[in-house]
Amino acid sequence: MKKIITIKEEYNSLEKLQGFINKKSEYNSNIQYDKWEIRKDADGNMQKCIMVKKSAMHGLKVYFLDDKTIELSYAIPNVFLHGWFGKSQKAYRGIDEIILGKIKDAVLIGSQKKAFNEMEQIFTQATV
């Protein structure tokens, strides 16, 4: 689950956006390196993102695409749980991994979509 949002200019950095999140919501948030998708910035360094945490199983990863545009994407904040329940990044998967992945996705999709929609509502006041 992903969503791209254009935000107000006053929230044009991770620090300012995190301050907004902390003020407007009850969720925990922190700035950290994006360990879910290893993305790099223009200098070749690992890019940072904001992790908005509803629980150990439900979170929202927020990062800038450009100065005014952010992308929200669902992520499992806990690294251990992400390893078990997250999307597999392996290039080659066996048939058993594919089948178990589809079953896992079917079971979890409802709660993940609900959590994503709840956390996404934080950003309605920051949009243009």
Domain that holds residue 24: 2-126
Structure tokens at 95: 């048939």
Q: Are 79 and 35 in contact (CB under 8 A)?
A: yes
Q: Are 76 and 59 in contact (CB under 8 A)?
A: yes
How many domains in the chain?
1
Mean pLDDT of the 106-120 span: 78
| Model pLDDT, residue 110 | 75
Mean pLDDT of the 98-109 span: 66
- The pLDDT tens digits of the residues spanning 11-57 come to 989 999 999 999 988 888 999 988 877 788 778 888 899 999 988 88
Mean pLDDT score across all residues of the chain: 80
What residue type is assigned to position 28 of the chain? N
| Model pLDDT, residue 83 | 55
Banded pLDDT at 116 (limits 50, 70, 90)? confident
